Structure 1
């Protein structure tokens, strides 16, 4: 939808500083048209769907966190790790609500704060659930579930780290946007 409404440029047509030739569309030569997830949900009607999906996802995170909390209490009893897991799940949901409802072009700082809250707390939630799975394990099948959950949590964490490292240039873009500096032109706006 964002591509058909010309809100972003296609990935195959966008290579920053290399696609800006005379015969290419000028709109694909700016940092504002990078096809990121947040940019795809900036303008209506995409922004409505983006907010809706993030809000529903946030509700689902809260529901899953609460159900997992009740499940651990039922099988293991009360635990500080379990309560911490519930709190982290709900903090993650709050960050996801911020990501969905504060669009990157209109409230960039709040959007990125929400993402900065949602992603790390979701990783901590997953790791806590892996630990709780091992603590509750009573059979070989439960231990295999713990192994699988730990492997998937480690893969998710590695993916998050690689995403953060590969986005180092985007941090400069973000700071430039907050400070009012156009980093593509190198001057104060």
Structure 2
């Protein structure tokens, strides 16, 4: 069992715990309203952070979207740290998964596409974390527009790749599990996007909840790579440096060996009369 399996497990532990800590900080500082609050107003006499008492007046600016939770300091600093660290871990996990598939099986279009979408998702995640929605709205939404669709595409490609490479019953069970997580993430992403565009306060709040469901599901999906990463060894790194050249090099070596065998065959013995001539 390889210690590399700790990496995909640590990603959801870090990110899920981190964003909930950010939410707790934003809630403590009265920058957002609680998740269980469904009552919103067009406007309030005082800003949320100035209010006191058992009940609060909330507006749409206080909806507990993940981005809203990480907008104002001090939670914005921690949110940027979580997103930057998480994006780096995503890049490493995606790269190791790419190399592991090449080592154990062979390279394919699904594997290459997964690598590309995973890295693009990491780039979008960095933008989301470092450009807060209230301070750099355009760049934040560009990052979200990159990170969310590509993360959905990544989990879909990985689910298909898991089915394609599955040989044992355990691998098929993992493929089924990943497919269920992919469908859950897809439903959550679609509902979050549709509800976010509505004017209803209730649907806006529902959008925030589905956004949380989507992000948690995707992070847990990355954690399932511990199943494959348990078999990663030093040969995986060697295969990564060689890229997809294993099959090509094997074919070349076979061709060289066959040519060498042909040239090494002894020449037919010349008849005696020819030797006399």
Q: Could you say which TM-score interval applies, normalised by the shorter chain? A: 0.7 to 0.9
Residue 152 of structure 1 deviates from its aligned partner by: 1.1
Alpha-carbon distance change, 120 to 15 in structure 1, aligned in 2, over 3 angstroms: same
What's the counterpart of residue 7 of structure 1? 31
**CA distance in structure 2 between the aligned counterparts of 1:117 and 1:148, rounded to whole angstroms:** 26
The 5-angstrom pairing of residues 1-189 of structure 1 reads 1-11=25-35, 15-17=39-41, 20=44, 25=46, 27=48, 28-169=57-198
Question: Given that residues 41 and 60 in structure 2 are in contact (C-alpha distance below 8 angstroms), is that contact kept between their aligned partners in structure 1?
Answer: no
Deviation at residue 41 of structure 1 after TM alignment: 1.1
CA distance in 2, matches of 1:107, 1:4: 24
> How far apart in 2 are the matches of 1:105 and 1:31?
13
Matches of 1:32 and 1:134, distance apart in 2: 43
Tell me the alpha carbon deviations over residues 35-72 of structure 1, each in whole angstroms, 9 at most, x when there is no partner: 32212211211110000011111111111101110111
Tell whether the 8 Å contact from 2:114 to 2:158 is kept in structure 1 after alignment.
Answer: yes
Gaps of 5+ in 1: 171-189
Going from structure 1 to structure 2, the CA distance change for 1:98 and 1:74 (only over 3 Å counts) comes to same
TM-score, structure 1 length as denominator? 0.80
* Structure 1 range deviating more: 114-123 or 140-149: 140-149
- How far apart, CA to CA, are the structure 1 residues paired with 2:33 and 2:176? 41
Structure showing greater radius of gyration is: 2
- Tell me what 1:176 maps to: none
The higher relative CO (CA closer than 8 Å, separation ≥ 6) is in 2
Does structure 2 conserve the Cα–Cα contact (< 8 Å) formed by 1:75 and 1:136?
Answer: no
| Equivalent-residue separation in structure 2 for 1:18 and 1:126 (angstroms) | 38
Cα distance in 1, alignment partners of residues 28 and 98 from structure 2:
43
Assess, with a 3 A threshold, how the Cα gap between structure 1 residues 137 and 110 changes in structure 2: closer, same or farther. same
Q: Secondary structure at the match of 1:62?
A: helix
For the 8 Å contact 2:43–2:59, the answer to whether it is kept is no
Task: Say what the alpha-carbon RMSD is for the aligned residues.
Answer: 2.1
CA distance in 2, matches of 1:135, 1:87: 19
Question: What count of residue pairs does the alignment treat as equivalent?
Answer: 167
Distance in structure 2 (CA, Å) of the matches to 1:18 and 1:92: 35
